[in-house]
């Protein structure tokens, strides 16, 4: 029965035209039962009616686009719900139809798929970047629920890229950049090589049109000669394999343009060096044959040392499996050979979609499906990080597949992005392991935590109870998971510390008014919380600790006194011990240390910033006396603080090394050295040091001042 002809006859006006539906139905008939095809046809009727009269930028009727998207998914043998969602994916955004209409007509499953793909045009965003990031976040979260969302979106993006010529140049470049940054890497991450290759080439063509034309022309020129060489080598492979009784397909591969361009860029090679590499794919029936074929091709042509990769034993992160080897071909030409089974070849081209036609219980064991689910679980964890822009950046970092493989002490394989450190590995094992990490061993040897991992290493993480992530780790971690986990812990820790600091500040301000938190009582506290439109006491303490609300004014509010009074700056409102964490920080303009006369400034969102009383920047703060807070140091403080000194020296060889040695001998670490000025006879050096207090700093200054080549040494004061 010709379902397309029957349906098209019923449609009104211009919608009766084919728009690719006949080809789509022929594809669907090859793998779907008639009742499911009827569902797709109803979706087409709904979509064609909703889009009636709408045209694309190219002038074609709009419905031709969703049908083309559905065709891409039908070629991958996706189910009827995904095909219907592909046809309907733009109706919510571009027509009067709503998600509720789709749900009523086609069910919750199709409606959820359409909703996941739809953009967020109904919400007002502060910027285009925020809108794009939030739209991407919504799509990725829907993808976590149902991976078909991203398959529809990838097919949608592919057809948009195929028809991008009608767009203005600026818009073309923006869409092409987004495709190369986001959608092609997602296709690669999910193992869908067919989408990845075409998205990359189309993105390259529209982002760098001149480079694309030059490379395209050069490749076309070289193809004639290449075909003869590829044909000759393919016949040689086929003859050798047939002689051993191995049934195999030998395919000469053509390099796609973007891979040629990227190789030239990354390896800084000439076009001729990249173009003259010939690629072959040998497809066999089972894994044993893969390794037999490897031995045969190595017997036929000598392999290049260090160019063999076994992705069958250790699959890539997206589930891809194959043997890769590079041979010295005729006249020394490099031959790149991939050897895989037919099943692996299907997975390589279609990734997670390669198992769609199988039953659910079989599908769960498929490698690409399992790896995709692991990645999606990671995305679910990432999405809890702050803003949509942060999420987008985190996922972009996670998408690029330049991977290394390292081992746990038990021999389990962990794929990691190239450049990952031991901290990234710790978080890859488990978030709690990363949070409690204190040291690491690589191949049984202790190494610094920032050490980059190399292929094949065995990594062991040493943890300690009570250990916490170090904010400095953010400077060198590579993976999105590690970065997100550290940030989340810092936010939680900062919240806890700000609550503690705020409580202390408020209690001190109440004591200055001959009261205390205990005397205020629960009833008055509850009334003040309601008056300030807060939920809990902790919310109030946190705002005070972060400097968003002033403790003296809040104390007067609690006691029902006039709030216009100023705090008494002579009263020591806060005693600092150097252990308050992130809500008490030390100004970099004057580097206060224990023993200095200091004051605190309540900075909104940062808590209390400690300055020396002599700091030049205090003139700015004097305009806001209500934000000052008197502070004093605890007597015994067991930690080090940063301090800066300036040293005028004679221009003689080795002076810098002599001063550094003297400082080290005084029990101080040098954080940073810079040259502030250099004249014919003398230089001015700046040292940022770690010191315990003013006495420790004075000892260092005395030791440096005694040196023969030192003219003058002073402590820096802003």
What gap in Å lies between CA 73 and CA 147, rounded to an integer?
13
What gap in Å lies between CA 196 and CA 97, rounded to an integer?
32
List 75, 79, 94, 389, catalytic entry:
94
Phi, psi of 278 (to 5 degrees): -100, 140
- Give SS3 for 250: strand
94 is catalytic: yes
What gap in Å lies between CA 477 and CA 221, rounded to an integer?
45
Element of type H or E holding 390: helix 388-399
Residues sharing a CB contact under 8 Å with residue 336, sequence separation 6 or more, in sequence order = 253, 277, 278, 279, 280, 324, 325, 326
398 is catalytic: no
Burial class (CB in 10 A: 0-12, 13-18, 19+), 665: exposed
Q: What angle do CA 483, 484, 489 make, to 5 degrees?
A: 100
Checking 659-668 for CB contacts under 8 A at 24+ apart, the result is 659/685, 659/687, 659/704, 659/707, 659/710, 662/703, 662/704, 662/707, 663/687, 663/689, 663/700, 663/703, 663/704, 665/703, 666/696, 666/699, 666/700, 666/703, 667/696, 668/696, 668/700
Give the rounded distance of the alpha carbon of 714 from its chain centre.
Answer: 45
Burial class (CB in 10 A: 0-12, 13-18, 19+), 502: buried
Question: DSSP assignment, residue 473?
Answer: G
CB count within 10 Å of CB 513 equals 16
Question: DSSP assignment, residue 132?
Answer: H
Q: Which of 505, 587, 509 is nearest to 545 (CA)?
A: 505
Helices (H), 454-567: 480-512, 517-531, 537-545, 551-559
- Give SS3 for 626: helix
Rounded to 10°, the helix 480-512/537-545 angle is 100
Q: Which of 23, 400, 356 is nearest to 189 (CA)?
A: 400
What gap in Å lies between CA 321 and CA 68, rounded to an integer?
30
List 29, 93, 548, 640, catalytic entry:
93
- Give SS3 for 682: strand
On whether the CB atoms of residues 269 and 315 are closer than 8 A, the answer is no
In the chain, % helix, strand, coil (3-state, to 5) comes to 55, 15, 30
Rounded to 10°, the helix 3-10/21-29 angle is 140
Q: Which of 74, 132, 80, 141 is nearest to 107 (CA)?
A: 80
User: Annotated catalytic sites, by residue?
Assistant: 93-94
């Amino acid at each position: 029965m010709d379902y397309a002809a029957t349906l098209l006859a019923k449609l009104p006006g211009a919608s009766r035209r084919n728009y690719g539906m006949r080809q789509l139905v022929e594809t669907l008939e090859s793998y779907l039962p008639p009742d499911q095809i009827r569902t797709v046809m109803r979706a087409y009727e709904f979509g064609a009616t909703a889009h009636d009269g709408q045209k694309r930028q190219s002038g074609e009727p709009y419905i031709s686009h969703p049908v083309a998207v559905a065709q891409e998914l039908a070629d991958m043998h996706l189910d009827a719900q995904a095909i219907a969602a592909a046809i309907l994916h733009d109706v919510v955004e571009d027509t009067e139809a709503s998600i509720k209409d789709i749900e009523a007509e086609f069910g919750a499953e199709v409606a959820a798929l359409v909703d996941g793909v739809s953009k967020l045009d109904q919400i007002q965003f502060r910027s285009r970047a925020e809108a794009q990031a939030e739209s991407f976040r919504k799509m990725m979260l829907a993808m976590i629920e149902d991976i078909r969302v991203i398959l529809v979106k990838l097919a949608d993006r592919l057809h948009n890229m195929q028809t991008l010529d009608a767009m203005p140049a600026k818009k073309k470049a923006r869409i092409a950049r987004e495709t190369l940054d986001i959608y092609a890497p997602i296709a690669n991450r999910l193992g869908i090589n067919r989408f990845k290759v075409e998205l990359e080439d189309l993105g390259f063509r529209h982002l760098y049109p001149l480079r694309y034309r030059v490379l395209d022309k050069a490749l076309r020129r070289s193809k004639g000669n290449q075909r003869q060489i590829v044909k000759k080598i393919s016949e040689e492979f086929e003859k050798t394999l047939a002689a051993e009784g191995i049934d195999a397909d030998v395919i000469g591969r053509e390099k796609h343009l973007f891979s040629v361009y990227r190789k030239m860029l990354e390896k800084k090679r000439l076009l001729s060096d990249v173009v003259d590499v010939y690629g072959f794919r040998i497809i066999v029936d089972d894994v044993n044959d893969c390794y037999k074929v490897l031995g045969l091709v190595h017997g036929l042509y000598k392999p290049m040392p260090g160019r063999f990769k076994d992705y069958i034993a250790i699959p890539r992160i997206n589930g891809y499996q194959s043997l890769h080897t590079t041979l010295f071909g005729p006249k020394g030409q490099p031959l790149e050979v991939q050897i895989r089974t037919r099943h692996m070849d299907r997975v390589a081209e279609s990734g997670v979609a390669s198992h769609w036609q199988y039953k659910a219980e079989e599908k769960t064991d498929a490698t690409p499906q399992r790896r995709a689910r692991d990645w999606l679980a990671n995305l679910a964890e990432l999405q809890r990080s702050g803003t949509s822009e942060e999420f987008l950046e985190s996922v972009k970092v996670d998408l690029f597949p330049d991977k290394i493989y390292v081992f746990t002490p038990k021999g389990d394989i962990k794929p990691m992005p190239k450049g990952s450190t031991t901290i990234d590995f710790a978080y890859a094992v488990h978030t709690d392991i990363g949070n409690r990490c204190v040291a690491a061993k690589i191949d049984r040897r202790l190494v610094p935590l920032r050490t980059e991992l190399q292929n094949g290493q065995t990594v062991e993480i040493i943890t300690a109870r009570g250990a916490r992530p170090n904010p400095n780790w953010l400077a060198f971690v590579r993976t999105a998971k590690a970065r997100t986990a550290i940030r989340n812990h810092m936010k939680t820790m900062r919240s806890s510390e700000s609550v503690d600091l705020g409580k202390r500040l408020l209690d001190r301000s109440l004591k200055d008014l001959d009261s205390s938190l205990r005397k205020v009582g629960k009833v008055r506290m509850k009334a003040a919380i309601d008056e300030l439109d807060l939920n809990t006491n902790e919310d109030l303490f946190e705002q005070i600790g972060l400097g968003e609300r002033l403790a003296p004014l809040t104390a007067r509010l609690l006691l029902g006194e006039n709030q216009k009074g100023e705090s008494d700056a002579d009263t020591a409102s806060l005693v600092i011990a150097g252990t308050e964490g992130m809500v008490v920080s030390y100004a970099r303009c004057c580097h206060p240390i224990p023993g200095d006369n200091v004051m605190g400034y309540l900075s909104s969102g940062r808590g209390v910033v400690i300055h020396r009383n002599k700091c030049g920047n205090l003139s700015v703060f004097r305009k806001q006396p209500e934000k000052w807070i008197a502070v004093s140091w605890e007597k015994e403080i067991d930690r080090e603080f940063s301090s800066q000194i300036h040293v005028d020296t004679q221009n003689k060889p080795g002076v810098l090394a002599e001063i550094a040695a003297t400082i080290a001998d005084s029990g101080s670490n040098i954080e940073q050295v810079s040259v502030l000025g250099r004249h014919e006879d003398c230089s001015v050096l700046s040292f940022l040091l770690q010191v315990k207090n003013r006495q420790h700093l004075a000892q260092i200054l005395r030791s440096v001042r005694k040196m023969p080549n030192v003219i003058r040494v002073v402590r820096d004061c802003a």
